[in-house]
Structure 1
Amino acid sequence: MNYRSEIQKFITSQHIYSGTRVALAIVIPSIILAYFGILKEYFLFPLGTSFVGLTDMSGPFIRRRNALLLAVVSFFFVTVIASVLKDYPPLIFVEIIIFGMFFTMLGVYGQRLAAVGGLSLVVFSIFIDGHLSGDQVFKSVVIFAAGCIWFFLVFLVVTKLQPYKLPGQMIGENYLQLADYLTIKAKFYQKNADLDALYNEVIAKQVVIKDLQEDTREVVFKTRQIVNESTTTSRLLMLMFLNSIDFYEKLLTSDHNYRKVHEAFDDAGILPKIHDFLNLLAKEITNIGIALQSGVKTVPRLDIDAELQHIYDDYFALRNREMKPETLEDFMALRLILLRVSEVAEDVITIYKVFSQDLKNARSLSTGLDLEKFVPKQEKLNSRVFLNNFSLKSGIFRHSVRITVALLIGYAISKLSFLGIGHSYWILITIIAIMRPAYSTTKHRNILRIYGTAAGAVTAYFMLIFIKNDTVLLAILLSSMIMCFSLLKDKYAWAVFFMTIYIFITFNFLNPGNVNLIFKDRILDTVIAGVIAFAVSYFIFPVWEHSQNIVLMKKSAKANLNYFQNVLEHFISKKGDDQEYRMKRKDAIISLANLSDNFQKMLSDPKNQQRRMEAVHQFVNTSHLVTAYTASLAQYANSKNQFPEIDTENWNKKISAELLRTVALLNSEETDEKTIQESALKPEDLVEKMLKKRKEEIEENEFFDIRDPNRITKLTELKNIREILELLYDVAREQRKVVDKYVLYR
């Protein structure tokens, strides 16, 4: 692992930038209040700042601004109601029911409002018993609201000063994930590579890339400065993001039989060199990603063309020694691998050129594509959507019921005097933090929360015992805050670890010498909340991942069919709508990633709920291959070359028929006789005759040692296209058989 590169990735990322902003917004006022000796009295000010800061999710400025305004209003309303009714326990249970259902149901409008709703419940939990507000309700509410407004003002100032910072960081993160993806692809060329495990790694990484691309699309295509303005920076960011999507398709292609390639060339020494070169390209992509996150220019770290030429020299020397009729097809396969590697290298060089050039005189890149169509759809804020989800058929409604029941149980337990719980609201906060709509996610977060809390509590306990210098403790507090807010999205256990440390130090500043009580309460409350969250998620209206299988399989099958037909239409006519093609590609990749994510979550469900796991796994794998082979075919569809030697019309009918049969089975529809007949067509290609002729030429010593890396024979291209079409049909047929059995035993 390159630790320097990993550190650079982290310190230039949007997460550390956002975490530092939130932490400074909290700490700076706290230091000022401490200087005047009134921090304890005005402790609710930085607390309000922290909660509003946690609702600030990445996205377009307008959506972030509106969500923060909603959070400020919502938090104020909740604190007023909770503070006024804190002395009436029966009404508190009514509050929990109303607020628990309402704020969790906000999730129907997307993740941004779900975060606002969840943190509104956290605020409610803190003020539920007056532990922090005391008897001065009005003063406490005003101080808390002022802290909320403070972060909103910080947000407005920072985003106006650096409007391109977030888009640049997110696009940079796209390139960093693509670099990781390329590193995984490079491992396919290692000797004794575990291909099945690597395919699983590839699929898991595709889920991560899909989520990131969706978030980045929303930011880039919904940010006015990028879409409408004609500044150098806006055009550059737009072009870099579009290039990253095209580059991902290039990496997605899977047109190689790796087992056959290893059998033929494992002892030739060239495959490890391909592996090393791809890793070098991954480092270059990492360099681009870090530069984008940092907002600086960069140049290639190595001579890519020279490194590639070394591989071609080895290839041509090997071909000159080993080429004969029986190895012809093996060398054609290796030549195509080198072609793909060359294309990836060329793309990296192109991306560097785009990144380094001056685009002042370029036209706006917002023309030509209807960017609105590429942005993830979100539910509009209307009451009909909200009310229509009040049904047990709605996953959000079931989740709302679980959250509400868990909060009721947690609050009731916190009032049991014999337990001696000093910070009862920690139970409620932990329940809200852990519970998610899916059981598998709740289970995973539960485990991470317990690990993070236990490790953080022990670490903080010893810190407070052995470190008596307030300046050192304050430095640790600030560092822990930054790390907590930076890691909250991707490294939950570590985020909880640092959160626990800064909570311990904060309470120690407010009430020195109480570390034993804090330690006991934190551990006990976390365990109680974890048990409640697990039990409620398991027994009350649970949502198991297998219930989503058929829906996601339908979407993936349909999206792959549309993607394939679009590519074949473009392949045949050499005319195509670029926007429609990009839309079909996006739908196929997103559907595949959602299906893969669903399967990964199934692994965390109880064994008795992991239904038809083998069939779902086979469907995920075949879907991945259909998408990848179609992406491989798209490279030829975008080529200006014509391929009349391939019976493309019949291949189109044959493969489409198999994909249509799969869609029909998933939708419980009958397949018409015409489709069944088309799936049995036998395309008449000329490739075999041409291949036979070429072998005869080699047998007769008509082999010419032409060492041109840019030259690839027409026969090599034709053979590869035919193999891709054959593989597509075989995979489509295999998928149809899998679905046939899945539907039969469902």
Structure 2
Amino acid sequence: MFISNFISNHIRELLEFLKSTSFSKAVLIGVAISVPIIIGIVIDHLDIGLAICFGAFWCSPSDVSGNLKHKQIGIVFSTLLVILVSFIGGYLEISNYFLFPVLGVLTFCIAFISIYGFRASMVSFSGLLALVLSFSNTSETLEVYQYALWIGAGGLWYLIISTLWFYLNPKAYTEETLNEIFILTADFLDTRKKLIGEHPDRIKLQTQLIDLKIELTDLHDTFREILISYRKSSGKSNYQGKRLLIFIELVELLETAVANPVNYETMDVLFEIHPKFKIDFQKLLSEFSQQIRSFENCINYSKKIPSNKVLFDAIKSLELDISKLKNETKPEEYEQYLMLQNFLDYQKKQFEKLKKIKWLLGNPELTTDELVPADDLKRFVNTQDYNPKLILRSFSFRNTIFKHSLRLAITVMLGYGIGLYFDLQNPYWIILTIIIIMRPSYGLTKTRSKDRVIGTLIGAVIASALVIFVNNTYVYGALGVLSLTIAFSMVQKNYKASSTFVTLSVIFIYAILEPNIVKVIQFRVIDTVIGAILSFMAMRLLFPAWSFMEIGNSIKDGLKANTAFFNSLSKYFQEKGKVPLSLKVNRKEAFLQMSNLSSAFQRMAQEPKSKQNHIDSIYELVEINHSFLTALASLSSYIQNHKTTEATEEFKILSKKIEDNLYTVCSQLSTINFESKKINPNPLDFKSESDRVKLSIDNLTDDTILNTKNVHTHMEAHLIWEQMYWLFSLSEKMLKLTLRFKID
């Protein structure tokens, strides 16, 4: 049974991999670089075929999945850049004394393009590839300008086949991204289920939730750009409209899943008294995640959509059991009833969202009124600033990309110098390794250095064994293209495996040209190790960009986003009416900034211990910000989905207190020097109001329950005041933490 499950799981993973856009793009690159070479051999112009092949290969990194127009613009810019770089590189027949500064300046300028965002960084990478490989790929039959133009033709060739592939399968990336969102959302719900399990490790589970939330937020951002940009460029589309509505439900579903309308410690006590509720809620959450996971197979097969009956029966059963607590006379049991009823209420909202997704997956006909207005959508897309003034603003040692570009330029010059000094066979392999490995963050560079070396060694061993037993140039050519295709398809998912196949492809290609292949393998390993060591050492010693220098800004950005979300929510609760678009935009920004903050902290945690200044306090600030967003999500979900009573004067006063605390914390963060190791463990100027506010809120809740018999009013008072107290106590904790740091 175990073996059959193991085999079936791996077969399913393999089939999913073969259907993925990563694999299809890798095949596309394989075709783009193979066809020109084959045609070049047939027409006896291999030099032209190779130039077109290199052009297509160098421009392929800029083929970033997303909107077709943006993809095409990225490839066009890459093409222009590789033409320019190849033209300059071809005429760099100068002495090494002049070559080094020119190489350094060109590397810096090309790398600095990355200040314009991710797509620009891929264009930059294309230019760096062209610069490095221009040292090795000089044509004996073509003039430099001809060679550069044929390389440009290769870029346009790749643009044509990439565009054709998009039109042949325009839904591929949309469907794959949506499937990933389904699976990660199901994983998120599974993890949430474990939080109410038997003695859960909540710290570990909360960390897992944060990691999943980062992935989901990134996927949401990508998917939002695909759908919204598509509608902006092609008008209304029934298919895209349905996918957009499904996406909106998934975003709402995540917000409700992030929300925590109950206190886990209190619920632990309740579940000890009533263990049946814990089992029933876990079963309900499991069914939610299983159904969401099954949506992956329902996108184009509506008959596979699971029935609502199981969820409906489970919710009905829980409703009956919880209602029995309402009839108890003890006050504490009535409070337990309110708590469970609120928790069940959230699950009912999830059920409504699931039913809406199922309906949309059933391919219904949508009216114009059901589609989201295009003007509203624009506010949800983050637009990249391409103002030329950004170059001047970024030309500073406070800018991470500036320091990375300078660091990369110096390391590339050093690597090339070492290759020339020791008369290595292919010194450009060293600088190629450097530009592939080195990233702006220390943790990622360290990981890629290790994976690159290990992958190269594994690839060298496998290639050595194959070369001994196989001596056929056609087989080498086929294995080289196949290895390169696999390498490209795995570069995002498994960099170590990708490095293994890159090494295999390079060795097989050189085996066709170089009879002494053992020597090629030897130098490949040596050059890779040198490049990896230089990259790692440069990150430690050259203009290091340690995360503690920037973590304060990340915390402040996250706090500002949370503050804007809280203010929008408080205003909406007081004014009622239709949910304003600004509230949804602020919610999206809060989730995005929390994802960025978590990523910033993870980068810090990967750095040397000596560079992790105040990591415990910073971790606490990050956790509090996440808890703050959780409480906001709870309030937001409840207030938007229920008819609430008028905001009391006490609510307005407490909202003002929370707001004042948040602004004070923001002000404090602006003055903190995180590079200083000094802290004030007991700030004397902090006086907590937490106990007094808690007592006041308990009295307000009790008064509400005594003065009205309306259960929904009781549920509202219990949830809203509990969340408001939690928000207030979290704002106080942040204030106390920031007062501990030494203020300059």
| TM-score class normalised by the smaller sequence | 0.7 to 0.9
Shift in Å, 1:470: 6.7
- Kindly provide the amino acid, as one letter, of the partner of residue 735 in structure 2: R
2:47·2:141 contact (CA, 8 Å) conserved in 1? no
2:270 corresponds to 1:264? yes
2:429 corresponds to 1:426? yes
SS at 2:65 equivalent: coil
2:449 corresponds to 1:446? yes
Alpha-carbon separation, structure 2, partners of 1:164 and 1:134: 44
1:177·1:209 contact (CA, 8 Å) conserved in 2? yes
2:453·2:529 contact (CA, 8 Å) conserved in 1? yes
- Kindly provide the amino acid, as one letter, of the partner of residue 284 in structure 1: Q
2:719 corresponds to 1:720? yes
Shift in Å, 1:477: 4.2
For residues 188-217 of structure 1, the C-alpha deviation after alignment (integer angstroms, 9 at most, x for no partner) is 133221100111111122222222222333
Alpha-carbon separation, structure 2, partners of 1:270 and 1:538: 53
Find the counterpart in structure 2 of residue 529 from structure 1: 531
Alpha-carbon separation, structure 1, partners of 2:235 and 2:324: 55
Alpha-carbon separation, structure 2, partners of 1:257 and 1:481: 52
Shift in Å, 1:136: 4.5
- Kindly provide the amino acid, as one letter, of the partner of residue 81 in structure 1: I
Trace 1:396-545 onto structure 2 (pairs within 5 A): 396-417=401-422, 421-467=424-470, 476-511=479-514, 513-545=515-547
- Kindly provide the amino acid, as one letter, of the partner of residue 423 in structure 1: N
1:645·1:687 contact (CA, 8 Å) conserved in 2? no
Shift in Å, 1:612: 0.7
Alpha-carbon separation, structure 2, partners of 1:11 and 1:27: 20
Shift in Å, 1:100: 1.1
2:664 to 661, 666, 671: 661
- Kindly provide the amino acid, as one letter, of the partner of residue 716 in structure 1: M
Trace 1:530-569 onto structure 2 (pairs within 5 A): 530-569=532-571
2:576 to 574, 577, 581: 574
2:41·2:49 contact (CA, 8 Å) conserved in 1? no
Structure 1 unpaired stretches of 5+? 698-710
Alpha-carbon separation, structure 2, partners of 1:141 and 1:740: 60
Alpha-carbon separation, structure 2, partners of 1:494 and 1:125: 23
Alpha-carbon separation, structure 1, partners of 2:115 and 2:20: 29
1:388 to 386, 393, 415: 393
Change (3 A) 1:357 1:291: closer
1:687 to 672, 689, 701: 701
Alpha-carbon separation, structure 2, partners of 1:161 and 1:496: 30
- Kindly provide the amino acid, as one letter, of the partner of residue 730 in structure 1: S
Shift in Å, 1:618: 0.5
**How much is the aligned-residue C-alpha RMSD, in angstroms?**
3.3
Change (3 A) 1:535 1:678: closer
1:172·1:291 contact (CA, 8 Å) conserved in 2? no
- Kindly provide the amino acid, as one letter, of the partner of residue 73 in structure 1: L
- Kindly provide the amino acid, as one letter, of the partner of residue 382 in structure 2: P
Alpha-carbon separation, structure 2, partners of 1:51 and 1:183: 42
Shift in Å, 1:603: 0.9
Find the counterpart in structure 2 of residue 340 from structure 1: 346
Alpha-carbon separation, structure 2, partners of 1:645 and 1:400: 53
2:620 to 618, 622, 632: 618
For residues 665-722 of structure 1, the C-alpha deviation after alignment (integer angstroms, 9 at most, x for no partner) is 22349xxx9x99999764586422465799xx9xxxxxxxxxxxxx975423432222
Q: Which moved more, 1:53-62 or 1:33-42?
A: 33-42
Find the counterpart in structure 1 of residue 590 from structure 2: 588
Find the counterpart in structure 1 of residue 677 from structure 2: none
Find the counterpart in structure 2 of residue 75 from structure 1: 82
Find the counterpart in structure 1 of residue 202 from structure 2: 195
Shift in Å, 1:132: 5.3
- Kindly provide the amino acid, as one letter, of the partner of residue 431 in structure 1: I
**Larger relative contact order (Cα-Cα within 8 Å, sequence gap ≥ 6):** 1
SS at 1:638 equivalent: helix
SS at 1:43 equivalent: helix
Alpha-carbon separation, structure 2, partners of 1:141 and 1:686: 76
- Kindly provide the amino acid, as one letter, of the partner of residue 119 in structure 1: S
Structure 2 unpaired stretches of 5+? 1-5, 673-684
- Kindly provide the amino acid, as one letter, of the partner of residue 740 in structure 2: K
Shift in Å, 1:370: 3.2
Change (3 A) 1:337 1:358: same
1:329 to 322, 335, 344: 335
Shift in Å, 1:628: 0.9
Alpha-carbon separation, structure 1, partners of 2:383 and 2:348: 37
SS at 1:210 equivalent: helix
1:308·1:342 contact (CA, 8 Å) conserved in 2? no
2:240 corresponds to 1:234? yes
Shift in Å, 1:530: 1.1
For residues 29-74 of structure 1, the C-alpha deviation after alignment (integer angstroms, 9 at most, x for no partner) is 4455566787688434323222211221123222221221111121
Trace 1:233-252 onto structure 2 (pairs within 5 A): 233-252=239-258
For residues 417-465 of structure 1, the C-alpha deviation after alignment (integer angstroms, 9 at most, x for no partner) is 4xx5222211111100111122232222222222222223323333333
- Kindly provide the amino acid, as one letter, of the partner of residue 596 in structure 2: N
1:191·1:272 contact (CA, 8 Å) conserved in 2? no
Alpha-carbon separation, structure 1, partners of 2:194 and 2:476: 45
1:309 to 297, 313, 316: 313
1:288·1:298 contact (CA, 8 Å) conserved in 2? no
- Kindly provide the amino acid, as one letter, of the partner of residue 67 in structure 1: G
2:62 to 55, 59, 62: 55
1:84·1:137 contact (CA, 8 Å) conserved in 2? no
Change (3 A) 1:350 1:471: farther
For residues 546-593 of structure 1, the C-alpha deviation after alignment (integer angstroms, 9 at most, x for no partner) is 111211121111211111121122122222553101111122111111
1:176·1:290 contact (CA, 8 Å) conserved in 2? no
Shift in Å, 1:276: 4.3
2:260 corresponds to 1:254? yes
1:563·1:581 contact (CA, 8 Å) conserved in 2? yes
- Kindly provide the amino acid, as one letter, of the partner of residue 127 in structure 1: S
Find the counterpart in structure 1 of residue 101 from structure 2: 94
Change (3 A) 1:725 1:495: same
- Kindly provide the amino acid, as one letter, of the partner of residue 636 in structure 1: Y
Change (3 A) 1:321 1:561: closer
1:571·1:634 contact (CA, 8 Å) conserved in 2? no
Identical-residue share of aligned pairs (%): 21
Find the counterpart in structure 2 of residue 706 from structure 1: none
TM-score after normalising by structure 2:
0.88
- Kindly provide the amino acid, as one letter, of the partner of residue 400 in structure 1: S
Q: Which moved more, 1:602-611 or 1:468-477?
A: 468-477
Alpha-carbon separation, structure 2, partners of 1:639 and 1:245: 15
Alpha-carbon separation, structure 1, partners of 2:512 and 2:647: 79
Change (3 A) 1:432 1:622: same
SS at 1:370 equivalent: helix
1:127·1:133 contact (CA, 8 Å) conserved in 2? no
Q: Which moved more, 1:210-219 or 1:637-646?
A: 637-646
Q: Which moved more, 1:731-740 or 1:26-35?
A: 26-35
Shift in Å, 1:526: 1.3
Find the counterpart in structure 1 of residue 377 from structure 2: 371
- Kindly provide the amino acid, as one letter, of the partner of residue 457 in structure 2: A
Shift in Å, 1:262: 2.9
Find the counterpart in structure 2 of residue 732 from structure 1: 731
Shift in Å, 1:415: 0.5
SS at 1:374 equivalent: coil
How many residues align? The count is 717
